[in-house]
Amino acid sequence: MTESEIGDLARLLPVPSPRDMPADRELALKTHLVTECRHARASAAAPAPRRRAGSVPGVRRHPVLAAATGAGVLAAAAALVAVALVPARAPGPARPSAAHGPAAATLLAKIADTARRQPVPVVGDSEFMYIRSEVAYPADTIVHGRETSVSGMLRERQIWLPVANVCVTGLLTENGTSTPISAYPIANGHPVKPPSGSGFLGCGKGSLGDPTYRLLQSLPASPAALLRLIYAQTKGQGPSPAAEAFTTIGNLIGETIVPPQTVAALYRAAALIPGVTVIGHATDAIGRAGIAVAWTAGHYRDEWIFNSSTLQYLGERDYNIVTGAISGQSAVLQRAFVDRAGQLP
């Protein structure tokens, strides 16, 4: 779908009414994030944990759209090692008003159809998903009652995730450091099986917050059934069911390899989330231009960015639509299956 087609759809729709979060609630959430980041800095030298419910290590947990989880906060704190205070800035060229309803459903249907036509890979249980990205995950902080953007530097990130069993040790390479990752706790650089009664959920295909390729293959092909499953498994998380569902789908498409039929269902499920919009112009972390599917909470917007011509997923960006302060962005460069953690395609 071209930008002109999206523009035509947008002009047929009313400008969405603002959905600002109450100021006291927004400030409380931001203050909570700052506190969590301070706690995480103290343990930034600890090995990065495996993804936990609804989060990717250092990825996509917006301070307002979702409460910061341990993995997300830890990586955000690590990113602050080389930070610089930057003034609020507009997130690229002037953006048209968001088009919602039929425009979002139409675009997501086209994206889903394109994804479903991709070849189905033949993958062995011993293999790993490999994803290479450029990422930058700053954080919004409060200084004298005003929001200031603390910007993380753009950096390469490589991750190897097991195909069939979350307890198989994967690998994360970022900022020049390689860290083993596993559903087991990591001690002295090696996964250690926790004692019985510790609350460990066990090995296997994982969960929506920590999926293997086998789990993704097993998800419902029906968009409605898939969305019901996401709502059920994320109940009570995030500021609202819709926000958490959008974040969960964004995490799945952002840093895994999703089977064609499943990713098509995820995109169609996203079209059923109330409040999903289309942004006619967006850019990913390395400046690639495209069109975006977005969800907005208060002043904050979370965008999934796609190539306008091929509809290929490019990356994501979270930002404040009032100040332009970016709170996270990525650009996916490569996905592949490899035989072992650390191996390059």
pLDDT tens-place string over residues 103-132: 999 999 999 999 999 999 999 999 999 999
Return the amino acid letter for 161. Answer: L
Q: Determine, yes or no, domain membership for 134.
A: yes
Instruction: Match 């830890």 to its residue by tokens.
Output: 74
Q: What is the mean pLDDT of residues 154-170?
A: 95
- At residue 249's C-alpha, the angle toward residues 106 and 69, to 5°, is 150
pLDDT tens for 241-263 read 999 999 999 999 999 999 999 99
pLDDT at 185 over 50: yes
Mean pLDDT of 75-101: 37
Provide the residue range defining the domain that includes 7: 3-338
**CB of 277 within 8 A of CB of 293?**
yes
Cβ contact 303:253 at 8 Å: no
Please tell me the distance from the alpha carbon of residue 320 to that of residue 148, in angstroms, as a whole number: 11
Please state the rounded mean pLDDT for residues 311-320: 96
| 55 three-class SS | coil
Mean pLDDT, all residues of the chain: 75
In a domain, 343, yes or no: no
The total number of structural domains in the chain stands at: 1
pLDDT of residue 88 exceeding 50? no
Q: Is 344 inside any structural domain?
A: no
Check residue 112 and give its pLDDT: 98
Those residues with Cβ within 8 angstroms of residue 263's Cβ, 6 or more apart along the chain or in another chain? 112, 115, 116, 253
Question: Cβ(319)–Cβ(325) under 8 Å?
Answer: yes
What angle do the packed helices 3-11 and 102-116 form, to 10 degrees?
150
Which residues make beta-bridge pairs with 128? 162, 338
Per-residue pLDDT band for 275 (boundaries 50, 70, 90) equals very high
CA distance linking residue 82 with residue 285, whole number of Å: 17
Phi, psi of 237 (to 5 degrees): -95, 150
Per the domain annotation, does 345 fall within a domain? no
∠ CA 287-293-294, rounded to 5°: 95
Mean pLDDT within 52-69: 35
